[in-house]
Structure 1
Amino acid sequence: MKTIFSLLLIFAMMQETSAQNTTYAEKLGYPAGKKVIIMHVDDAGMSYDSNEGSLKAIRDGVATSVSVMMPCGWVPGFVHYLKQYPDIDAGLHLTLTSEWKEYRWGPLAGKPAVKGLVDAEGAMWPSVADVVKHATADEVEIEIRAQLERARTMGFEPTHLDSHMGTLFATPAFIERYIKVGMQEKIPVMLPGGHNTAVRVDENMSDDMYAMTQTIGKQLWNAGLPVLDDLHNTSYGWKLPEGTKATKENLQSFKTQKYIEGLRDLKPGLTMVIMHCTDPTEIFPIISGSTQTREGDLLAMLDPKLKAYIEKEGIILTTWREAMQRRGKVK
Structure 2
Amino acid sequence: MKKVLLLLITLLSGNAFAQTTEPTYAEKLGYPKGKKILIIHVDDVGMSYESNQGAIKAIREGVANSLSVMMPCGWVPGFVHYWKENKDIDAGLHLTMTSEWKDYRWGPLAGKNQVKGLTDPEGALWRGVADVVKNASPDEVETEIRAQLERARTMGFEPTHLDSHMGTLFATPEFLERYLKVGMQEKIPVMFPGGHNTAIRGEEKMIAERFEMTQKVGKQLWAAGLPVLDDLENSSYGWKGPENGDKSEKGLQKYKTAKYIEAIGKLKPGLTMVIMHCTIHTEVFPHISDSWPTREGDFLAMIDPELRKYIEKEGIVLTTWREAMQRRQKVK
Per the normalisation by structure 2, the TM-score is 0.93
What residue is the counterpart of 1:261 in the other structure? 262
Alignment map for 1:20-35 (pairs within 5 Å) = 20-35=21-36
2:196–2:231: 8 Å Cα contact kept in structure 1?
yes
**Residue of structure 1 in register with 2:107 after alignment:** 106
| Mean CA deviation greater in 136-145 or 202-211 | 202-211
Bigger drift between 182-191 and 205-214 goes to 205-214
Q: Distance in 1 between matches of 2:164 and 2:246?
A: 33
C-alpha RMSD over aligned residues: 1.1
Distance 1:263 1:277 in 2: 18
Q: Which secondary structure does the structure 2 equivalent of 1:274 belong to? A: strand
- State the alpha-carbon separation in 1 of the partners of residues 294 and 20 from structure 2: 40
Distance across 2 between alignment mates of 1:210 and 1:18? 12
Count of equivalent residues: 315
The answer for the alignment partner of 2:171 in structure 1 is 170
Mapping for residues 1-331 of structure 1, pairs under 5 Å:
20-331=21-332
Write the distance in 1 (CA, Å) between the matches of 2:253 and 2:278.
12
User: Please, what TM-score do these two structures have when normalized by structure 1?
Assistant: 0.94
CA contact (8 A) 2:242 2:252 kept: no
Q: How far did 1:248 drift?
A: 0.6
- Work out which of the two has the higher radius of gyration on C-alpha atoms and give 1 or 2: 1
Structure 1 unaligned runs (5+)? 1-16
Shift of 1:20: 4.7
Deviation at 1:204, TM superposition (A): 1.8
After superposition, the C-alpha distances for 1:45-85 in whole angstroms (9 at most, x for unaligned) are 00001001010001110000000000000000000000000
CA distance in 2, matches of 1:110, 1:212: 33
C-alpha displacement of 1:18: 10
Identify, as 1 or 2, the structure richer in helix. Answer: 1
Shift of 1:234: 0.5
Q: 4+ residue stretches of structure 1 with deviation over 3 A?
A: 17-20
1:212 offset after TM fit, Å? 1.1
How far does the alpha carbon of each residue in 1:5-49 deviate from its partner, in whole angstroms, 9 at most, with x for none? xxxxxxxxxxxx998521000000001100000000000000001
AA in 2 matched with 1:58: I
Gapped regions of structure 2 (runs ≥ 5)? 1-17
Deviation of residue 203 (structure 1)?
A: 1.4
* Alpha-carbon offset, residue 327 of structure 1: 0.2
Contact 2:242/2:251, CA 8 A, preserved across alignment: no
Displacement of 1:211: 1.2
> 2:286 corresponds to which letter in structure 1?
P
Equivalent residues of 2:41, 2:65 under 8 A apart = yes
Give the share of equivalent positions with the same residue, in percent: 73
CA distance in 2, matches of 1:209, 1:306: 33
Q: For residues 277-314 of structure 1, what are the alpha-carbon distances to aligned partners after superposition, in whole Å with 9 as ceiling and x for unaligned?
A: 00021010000010000000000000000000000000
